[in-house]
Every structure is written in C-alpha cells, then in structure tokens.
A and B are shown apart, each in its own frame.
Chain A
C-alpha cells in the first residue's frame, strides 16, 4: 500500500510525544513534522476530499471589482469584528469599548478596535488649536503646538496600554460566563510614535525640587493624574501617531501621554498640560478609583504597574471547538516590567505544563503572541496560560492572587469594576461538545 501525504502526517502525529497532559505537543512540533504535519494540524487534510465539490470561478473573479477607496476599510464580511460598548447611547457616565481579542491575531491592535475608555465622550479637538503646556517647577514655562512637536526628533515603540480595571470580573467569587473580550478587552497594543517627554521637560528646565508631574487632558472632565518624574524622564512619550497614522480620537487625538507598561488611566489622552510639582495631586482617579481595596479594608495607593499577565484567546468562550483533532492554542502575554521571558500552557487545569513558542520579536512592554499545538481528544480539558517576564516576575495563579488581594462577596456585573489590577491566570474549560467555558481551576 502506498503512503499518501495524509498517511505520512498521521504517522508523524502518532510519533509525536505529548509534552504535557491532555494532548499538549512540543511547541516546535510544526517545524519538526514538516509540511505534511503542518497541513494535517491546521487544515484537517487527513479527511480526503471532504468538500466533494468541483472548483469553479466565483462571481467576483469574473467582473471588475469595486473602486479602490481613498481610505481602506475591512471587508464587509468582517462587520462582526467590533468593540463591545458599555454605554452605546452616551448616557452621562463613562463609556467603555472593549477589544475583541478572540477575533484578532498577531500582536498589535488595529486602530478602530483599540480599547477606549472615555469619561465624557471623545472630545472633537482641532489639532491646530490644541496646545501642550509645561509649567510648575521649571525654569521656563513653555507652550507647544502640534506643528512645533512635529519638528522634534521622534521615536517609535510598540507598547500595550491596559486599563487598571481590565479583567476585574475575575475578582468575582464565581466565574462569570463571558467572552475574552468582555473579561480582558480593556487592553490593546499599538506602535506609538512621538516625542520623548524628557526632551520637552529638559527644554523647560527641571527645578531640582520637582519629583512629580501632574498631567491633564483637554477632555471635558479634564482627567488628571500624577506621575513620578523618574518615569517621565525614563521612557514617557508625547505620542502623536498610533500604528503609523495620527492617534484615533478615542485614544487621545491629537496627542497623548504614553507611559509604557503603566496603568492606562495614567496615559493621559488629549494631553494639554503638565505641571511639575513636589508632591502628587491626589486626583480623583488616584485617590479613589485606581486604589484597590485589600482584604481587611486597607487599599493600595499608586498601583502604577500593569504586572505580568497572559490569557488564551484561541480557543476561548464563543470559539467552540469543532470536534476532536488538532488545534493551535494561542494567546497574548505582556508585562509592565519588561519583555516576556516564558509562557507555559496547561491543558489539564495546571497539573502539567508545556512551554509555548513565543512569536518574535518579543518586545519590551508590548504584546507577545504565544502558541502551542494541541491534540484535543474530545474529552474534558482545562486550558490555562502562565507568563514570566525578564525581570523575574511570574503571573500568579488565581488562588495566589485571591490570597493576597481577595475576591468579591457577590457576583458583580460583567461590566463592573469590583477591584483593580487583576493579572492572575485565566482558565477555559473545554466541554464535551467543544464549547468553551470560563472556570476557576
């Protein structure tokens, strides 16, 4: 009997040893197995001629297509790939738009899908009239126009921005059934281009007494946050571009403060004023909102850093598995304290772990895509990912995080923020029919 490519792939697969329980394969299984195996794992080529259909030219191949637009938009077949809105009618409260991580892949977030939190809508700023003022403990107060800033030396960097309240539903004492978008959609990653803030602060001349900057936006609530001067002088940027084009209105057009790796709310959008001070402002958002309460009643102050975190996007709730076979488990890892060093994935609820492949380049304080091949046998499985960063921090298990930070006393709304700064492991249970559920394991 002659061996078909499918037969060879089948043999390769059988020869592969799982590196962890419940069917997790070596992260380089694709490379080792070669093209036949890759085909088998990604395209179900083991089923011969499953379509039973002869190919023919489709209608769109037989007539000229639509005129190329001056600003491209995605295919009309992708209309379901949208952010979810917490306040679609713009009622007098905060609006949240969450990124659909389960419908995206790779490491950066398209501009139209970058998460947004606006406390009173997105201001409609005329860039020619916008001003950035630096004052307070400086030798000379300065005002910058956008035109002026555009003439400065610029830098580009990939950086994630994450709301301090992202993943807050996982503080719930019971797992809330919701998509990865609802649970983790308040983080996104983009390439930001702009002027280093240190350049502008140096130009104003920093008074040695200054230890903080108090930064304010030109939005209606004039959102204001205090940032240690050391961070401002380290890697802070006045960002003007997002993924190559001017910043989106919801993300701070025409300029925002970027504090790589630090709490989203501190990355002041529509930034218009920076005051250098000796002490912090103790503004509403730092004195009240982003001060998570600890068990016993004390609260953390100045939880600046978005700590190391990962979650699996594929599969995830809403992306049911279509029968036993081969799948790629993939997800996102990131850390506010450096590059991702390692991601481990479990398919048996944390009993055994396989090291995931990290997609290159692995960048500092940016999304890293991890992938691991998996053979689902159709039985129960619990998928988890856990990340480590180059600074040596490890993502906590949920039990570790709850021990330190507590959990709620009742199930909150999925859009609620019972606490802040959740970075522990997320667990997806694969049910017998392939449905994916959120569980604690």
Chain B
C-alpha cells in the first residue's frame, strides 16, 4: 500500500510539473496571421503614441466634421448635448464631480483612440484617420489645451500635456506592472 500511494504521489507530482508541457501539446490550431491582415483591426493607440497612424488634422477641419457628425449628441461646440460634454469642467474637488477631458483625462492619445474605435455612436469606424486627428485637434483646441491652429498627428498628439496627468494614484501597485 505504501509503495502504491507513493507511486500515486509521484504520478500526481509529475502531472503537476508537466502541466506547462501539456499546454504545448494542445491542438495548436491558431493560424499565423500577418500584420497586413490584422491592420484593419490594429487600432490601439498607447500614451507614447505607438499605434498612431499617418495623417494629420487641424481644429478648423475638425469643427466642420464635428458639426456634421458629433453635435447632434454632444451639442454645438462640445456642450449642451444629451451626451457627455466635451468642453470645460471645473477642477475636481468632490468625488461626484463631472469628469471631463480638461479636468480629468490624463492622456490626449485616449481621445484619438476612443473617437476612432467608438464614434460616431451610430456609425463607429466610419471616420478616416485624418478626420479622427481633426476631431481630436478640435476638441483639444476648444478646451484650450492646444492652439487653435495646431495640427494633431503622430508626432504632436503624444506631446500634448493634459492638466490632470499627475492626478492619479495606482490602486494596487503590486499588481500593476
């Protein structure tokens, strides 16, 4: 009996140790895919600007696109609409303060990433990269975070300093690389 249970333990141990090896024996049914084939989905933009596409847009370009495609929900010039206002916002002092681009968003790249993936609400992914840059520039300009003639592109957008960039505390540092 002793030998048998020892053997059982050894088998268990071996199985446990070989768990990672077992993964390698999975069907391996993932098919290689090239960057060109992923391109249409490859839309993540990171705070350092990685993922930003070629192209450029100015606040003036953005104002025209905004009037046609955004103002119905967000209101003329980024306020007064049924959905989240895009302009202004007092400095945050209370927990139930309205979080706005100007008073809260830490990175300007998030604006490009979110507009491109999610807006306009009824027709996401219908904007060209140039249009997304232009809308990003327009909204940043309305908030006086860039000049009214500043073009946004892969070089300029990551350099925009957002007022609340340093307003955050990482909740679980030991779990956050």
Contact = CB atoms under 8 A, between A and B. Distances in A.
Contact of A135 (B42, B106, B122, B176): B42
Contact of A300 (B28, B37, B38, B169): B169
A224 B169 contact: no
Interface residues on chain B, size class = 35 or more
Interface string B66-77: 000000010000
A262 to B, nearest CB: 10
19 contacts: A92-B122, A134-B30, A153-B26, A221-B118, A221-B121, A221-B124, A222-B118, A229-B177, A272-B41, A281-B44, A287-B106, A288-B110, A293-B97, A293-B99, A297-B167, A299-B168, A405-B95, A409-B96, A418-B96
B117 interface: yes
Interface string B22-44: 11101111111111011001111
A291 B164 CA distance: 12
Interface stretch (A20-28, A136-144, A353-361): A136-144
Contacts of A224: 44, 113, 117
Interface stretch (A200-208, A248-256, A432-440): A200-208
Nearest to A199: B23
Contact of A287 (B30, B107, B117): B107
B83 interface: yes
Contacts of B79: none
Interface residues on chain A, size class = 35 or more
A203 B28 CA distance: 7
Given A152-B29, A282-B107, A277 B169 contact: no
A19 interface: no
A291 B8 CA distance: 49
Most buried by A among B20, B29, B113: B29
Contacts of B27: 148, 151-152
A93 B119 CA distance: 12
Contact of B94 (A277, A305, A406): A406
A352 interface: no
A277 B95 contact: no
Given A120-B124, A282-B47, A284-B118, A230 B95 contact: no
Contacts of B22: 153
Most buried by A among B22, B113, B170: B113
A142 B177 contact: no
Contact of B171 (A223, A273, A304): A304
Closest 10 CB pairs of A and B: A142-B30, A221-B118, A148-B29, A222-B117, A418-B96, A211-B177, A406-B95, A284-B114, A301-B168, A408-B96
Contacts of B20: 202
A133 interface: yes
A175 to B, nearest CB: 16
Interface string A149-178: 101110000000000000000010000000
A120 B29 CA distance: 32
